[in-house]
Structure 1
Amino acid sequence: MDHNEKPTATSTGVHPVSDNDERRASVQELKEKDVYHSDLLVDQELMNNAFDAENREHEQGTWAAVKSHPMACFWAFIFCFTIVMESFDMFLNGNFVALPAFANKYGVMSEDGKMAIPTKWQSALFQSGQCGAFIGVLIAGPITNRLGYRWTTIIGLMLMNATIFISFFADSLTVLVIGQAFEGVPWGLFIANSPAYASEIVPISLRGACTATLQMSWSIGSIIVAGVTYATNQWTTQWAWRVPLALQWIFPTPLLILIFFAPESPWWLVRKGRKQEALRSLERLGRKGMTDSVEKLAMIERTVEIEAKIGGNPSLLDLVKGTDLRRTAITCLTYASQNFAGNLIANQATFFFEQAGMSTDFSFQLNLITTCLQFAANIGSWFLLSWFGRRTIYLWGTFTNAVFLFILGICASITQSHSTNYAQACFGVIISVVYAGSLGPATYTIIAETSSVRLRALSTGVGRAAYYIAEIPMIYLASRLLNPTGWNLAGKCGYVWGGTAVVCWVLAYFGLPELKGRSYREIDILFNRKVSARKFKRTQIDVKDND
């Protein structure tokens, strides 16, 4: 026997160990060291590819990522643009109550001698759509897990086209409210899927900017509504509100055609075992001729395998198990907090300006100016999120709005004059713009990144459901605060929303982690290790860690 050969005992004696035996022993040793005992996680070639892809994404700057993934940016924007329909309708309802023709048709005489929509119907117009959307977001996760982001969104767009008919032909507030409820269901599908899809198809450095385009879509919807209602607010016929309702049909069909040709999320395809399709999707998302798609696929396979070994097939119950409970709580609280830091003033801006003492025509003009400023702030948020991160922008945005909300309340509490009316209107504009440039877009990025990939479709849906659970009663409260047939507090509502903004800030300071620049594998590890939210940014994760 060659003295260099390794002997091994057998029932028939001693014989040399073959190369295959050594290879199997090496693999077994690696498996024993790996808590997941996964063949994939000890495939050295695949793991090296995964390491290379993740390191490359960490090193890649924002502009370089845009140049290397132009189609990923395009498709992320298209999916996020579906939110323009919910935005359009939400702001449209806020403007309906300020349209003289609509108030004359469906309103009652208020104490000041003007026609106004009763508080219960005003809040119903807002709440009905949100109730429908609540149903939509709850069913979005299971549908998406089965059909994928692409087909779920296509189904939503078909439903949107059909349900607009109810609102357009409504001849009473009751039917209009019912129409809004039906329209809300596809809204829920869009808002649950869009941030998740956008976050999964773009590189790490682009996640903040691309998911923040959701807030820009809200601004685009509000700009269109502001322009249309400003043009029709002097009309005295039913077309003053039917024309804006009909304009909803300009969105679904073009988006449906585009999304039919969109690539599916490679993360979803890998979870379904369709790796060749995932590779093709990665090739479509990157610049033509890119050669790192195989490495990116390996990175996705690695993360999906780790999560699968931890939790298996996703279910709603998984959202409240183990470390996923913490992630779900962050998603839900962050989403719900959008209702407590000035957003409801922005949603009813025209009506707020009227209650602050502005004329109807000037209120519509000011609302148009506000929406344009919000759009500019949204674009600015892309750079802020890339430079400063999510936690920083959220905390400073919430703190700033809390201060302005309290100042708004003070302006409304002192002896009223022409100057105080304008001051209230100005602070209403500032609060709306600050929201649109900070915590508004940051929220969409946070909820898209916080959940595990395995539970993302479910988590974004449940998080948005938490938003609606908080929003529905808050809409009624906001209507009561502003409406002359309610409490008629005008700018004094700043005290209420300033107080709730402070609560949001405190909760975020202690519970909201910084996820900027982290891969999904790193985020999983940080949550699994139960790292404090304030230490996420400083904690180092090795590229070879699989825990």
Structure 2
Amino acid sequence: MSYPSGENGDKAFDVDHTESVVIQADRQKSAWQCILENPKIAAWTLYANVGSALVGYENLALSVCLAMPAFQKTFASDVNGVLIIPAAWQSAWNATYNVLQLFGAFTAGHLQDWFGRRAVFLAAIICASACISLSYISQTQGQFLGGKIVTGFANLGMLIAISATFSRVSIMDESAFRVIFAAAWAFPGILALGLPFLPESPYWLVMKQEHDKARQALQRLSPSGEDIDARLDQVQQTVYRERELANGDVSVLDCFRGTNMRRTRIILICMYMPKVVGAVLSSNAPYFLNQTGLDSHMVVTLTQIGISMGVVSAVVNLFLMMKLRHRLLMFCGVGISIIMYLIMGIASLLPKTTGSLTVIGVSLQFISISYGPAVGASMAVAGEVSASRLRAQSLGLGAAFMALAATFWQVVLPYLFNQDEANLGGKLGWIFLGMAIVYLVIVYFDVPGTRGRTYEELDVMFEKGIPARKFEAYKFEDNNA
């Protein structure tokens, strides 16, 4: 086995054959085989996603608390005898959280490269615990904003948030909503318990020339009988190639040149999918439905049902993604949301009764069925269409665009549904209906299906300018394969 000998004088690894054998063996395994054969890696992956659950919890905890009478008594303003959270503060709480998430996403990668994954994990745990404390003790709108600024499997976190709220809607003192924020301490607590046993990333250790420690980390992560030398060779080869690509003259501007412009456009379209299928609207659903006039208990019940359906949709989509084409899943997901938006819009034109308001609430929550197929397939396409040497830059742009889109809607929505502002209520369905129809047309003409294609095949197809709707049926001649 040979290692890189220096930054500029790196010599090629003499392990091409070994690496090829390992890669081919991996490709022949199904996703379930990989999980069953690598239980330690699967377990640590679930552990790491506790942080994602915290994000989901935080996103929905604020919205459900906005709908709680006790929270409104503490933070709301009296507008003509009605307690209303000012739209400006709602926008600030939601948008600032998204902006700081964007900042964290861009800085976390560099910090991990400098200090290692475990060190950054520890810093994140401390930071999350501190910001949860600030949200818990806040008495004013500004203090609460400070907690959201620092905080800066999501469906699972949302389900926990709404379940924690269910039994506390009727409590009228501050403990009603403070318990919801206190429950968030469970997430960094779980991460802190597992951190001492978390192996450092073998890739990071190889980057730091700590090859013996990388071997030890692989031994801790791999099942018995695994060829550790072959795996270590594969890691070293990957790191070496990435260094070669990094040393090349690549910039973000390259994402907008030649065929890469089309690829970047597809990534941005895919990254906007969650907004089209109502993710940002659903995250505001509890307070939005409360503003339409629905009873708080009914609001919490509908939200719990909706998020539960979202969890089921995500699980079912794991199997659908293995069998069905990406474009079909995206069309089905957006199609479901279009039907629900139409029902919501029609219900908003009816007299304001408990029945019509319930229809608005049910249609809004049923949109969550579309999350799995629509968002799952679109994220898969976004991760596969970029050129290999520009993948980091392309996906970075996509993440930034997604955060900016979320920030825009989080700022705008409170002004659209608050009673002291536009007070659109269920008429918001018409706005999202129009957006979803336009988006569906764009997806049909511009977003290809990438399931089953290698990166090399995608490169050729983009160079040839194959239309998006013909990607999945395109066949290679032997001399082009």
Q: What is the deviation of 1:349?
A: 2.1
Matched, 1:88 2:24: no
2:66 and 2:286 in contact (8 A); partners too: no
1:364/1:295 Cα in 2 relative to 1: closer, same or farther (>3 Å)? closer
Partner residue of 2:180?
A: 244
Change (3 A) 1:324 1:483: same
Match of residue 406, structure 2, among 459, 471, 496: 471
Q: In the alignment, what sits opposite 1:79?
A: 48
1:427 CA displacement: 0.8
Q: Which residue of 1 aligns with 2:3?
A: none
1:69 aligns with 2:38: yes
Matched, 1:138 2:106: yes
Please say if residues 276 and 334 of structure 2, whose CA atoms lie closer than 8 Å, have aligned partners that are also in contact: no
Q: Tell me how far apart the structure 2 counterparts of residues 254 and 82 of structure 1 sit (CA, whole Å).
A: 10
1:121-136 equivalent positions in 2, closer than 5 A:
121-136=89-104
Between the two proteins, what is the percent identity of the paired residues? 24
Task: Give TM-score scaled by structure 1 length.
Answer: 0.75
Q: Which moved more, 1:55-64 or 1:292-301?
A: 292-301
CA–CA distance in structure 1, aligned partners of residues 436 and 344 of structure 2: 14
Q: SS where residue 109 of structure 1 aligns?
A: strand
Provide closer, same or farther for how the CA distance between residues 506 and 307 of structure 1 changes in structure 2, counting only shifts above 3 A: farther
Distance in 2 (CA, whole Å) between partners of 1:345 and 1:118 is 18
- What are the ranges of 5 or more consecutive residues in structure 2 without an aligned counterpart? 1-9
Q: Does the Cα contact within 8 Å between 2:267 and 2:398 map onto a contact in 1? A: yes
Q: Does 1:495 align with 2:422?
A: no
Distance 1:454 1:148 in 2: 23
Aligned partner of 1:68: which letter? E
Number of aligned residue pairs:
472
Structure 1 residue 230, shift from structure 2 partner: 1.9
C-alpha contact 1:341 1:500 (8 A) present in aligned 2 = no
Partner of 2:272, secondary structure, is helix
Structure-2 change in CA distance of 1:309 and 1:367 (3 Å): closer
Q: Structure 2-normalised TM-score?
A: 0.84
Distance in 1, matches of 2:204 and 2:181, equals 35
Q: Matched residues in 2 for 1:401 and 1:115: separation?
A: 32
The amino acid that maps onto 2:281 is I
Q: Any residues of structure 2 matched to 1:186-201 within 5 Å, and which? A: none
The 3 A distance-change label for structure 1 pair 247 and 428 is same
The equivalent residue for 2:135 is: 167
Considering only CA atoms, is the larger Rg found in Structure 1 or Structure 2?
A: 1
Q: Distance between the aligned counterparts of 1:453 and 1:151, measured in 2?
A: 29
Alignment check: 8 A CA contact 2:292 2:425 kept: yes
Matching residue of 1:485? 420
Residue 77 of structure 1 deviates from its aligned partner by 2.0
Contact 1:303 1:520 in 2 (8 A): no
Identify the match of residue 393 of structure 1 among 319, 322, 329: 329
Residue 50 (structure 1) aligned with residue 19 (structure 2): yes
Which string of whole-angstrom CA distances, capped at 9 and with x for unpartnered residues, describes residues 138-197 of structure 1? 22233234345444333222221222222222110011112201110xxxxxxxxxxxxx
Equivalences for 1:194-209 in 2 at 5 Å? none
Residue in 1 that maps onto 2:124: 156
Q: 1:407 to 1:481 in 2, by over 3 A?
A: same
Cα shift at 1:100: 0.5
Query: What is the correspondence of 1:279-290 to structure 2 with a 5 Å cutoff?
Result: 280-290=216-226
The whole-number CA distance in structure 2 between the counterparts of 1:520 and 1:256 is 38
Q: 1:83 to 1:373 in 2, by over 3 A?
A: same
Q: Retained in 1: the 8 A contact 2:63–2:285?
A: yes
8 Å contact kept, 1:327–1:451: yes
Residue 183 of structure 1 aligns with which residue?
151
Mark the CA change 1:460 to 1:233 in structure 2 (over 3 Å): closer, same or farther: farther
Aligned position for 1:301: 237
The change in CA–CA distance for 1:527 and 1:345 in structure 2 (over 3 A counts) is same
How many angstroms apart in 2 are the aligned matches of 1:145 and 1:453?
20
Please name the residue that 1:33 is paired with.
Answer: none
For 1:379, which of 312, 315, 321 is the aligned residue?
A: 315
Q: Say whether the 8 Å CA contact 1:107–1:115 is kept in structure 2.
A: yes
1:277-308 Cα deviation digits (max 9, x unpaired): 55555554442212386168448726962783
Q: Give the conservation status (yes or no) of the 8 Å contact 2:309–2:366.
A: no
Change (3 A) 1:311 1:332: farther
Partner of 1:120: 88
1:255 alignment counterpart: 191
The answer (yes or no) to whether the contact 2:344–2:360 under 8 Å persists in 1 is: yes
C-alpha spacing 1:503/1:57, structure 2 compared with 1 (3 Å): farther
Matched to 2:198, the amino acid is A
2:78 corresponds to which residue? 109
Please give the alpha-carbon distance, in whole angstroms, between the structure 1 residues aligned to 2:347 and 2:285: 17
Counterpart of 1:103, as a letter, is Q
**1:1-16 correspondence runs (5 A):** none
Q: SS where residue 232 of structure 1 aligns? A: coil
Distance (whole Å) between structure 2 residues aligned to residue 141 and residue 336 of structure 1: 23
Q: Note closer, same or farther for the CA distance 1:244–1:477 as it changes in structure 2 (3 Å cut).
A: same
1:439 alignment partner, one of 374, 391, 402:
374
Superposition deviation, residue 309 in structure 1: 4.7
CA contact (8 A) 1:110 1:116 kept: yes
Q: Hey, what does 2:6 align to over in structure 1?
A: none
Change (3 A) 1:533 1:146: farther
**Relative to structure 1, is the Cα distance of residues 401 and 527 closer, same or farther in structure 2, using a 3 angstrom cutoff?**
same
Aligned Cα root-mean-square deviation (Å): 3.6
Provide the residue aligned with 2:7 in structure 1.
Answer: none
SS at match of 2:184: helix
* Separation in 1, partners of 2:117, 2:377: 22
Does the 8 Å contact 1:106/1:117 carry over to 2? yes
Residue 344 of structure 2 aligns with which residue? 408
Q: Distance in 1 between matches of 2:328 and 2:236?
A: 28
SS at match of 1:438: helix
Contact 2:277 2:333 in 1 (8 A): no
Q: Distance in 2 between matches of 1:527 and 1:152?
A: 38
Q: For 2:350 and 2:184, locate their aligned partners in 1 and report how far apart those are by CA, in whole Å.
A: 42
> SS of the counterpart of 1:115?
strand
Matched residues in 1 for 2:395 and 2:192: separation?
22
Residues 419-458 of structure 1 mapped to structure 2, 5 A cutoff: 419-435=355-371, 437-450=372-385
Does the Cα contact within 8 Å between 1:53 and 1:296 map onto a contact in 2? no
Contact 1:144–1:457 under 8 Å retained in 2: no
CA distance in 2 between counterparts of 1:262 and 1:88 reads 24
Q: Secondary structure at the match of 1:82?
A: helix
Deviation at 1:251, TM superposition (A): 1.0
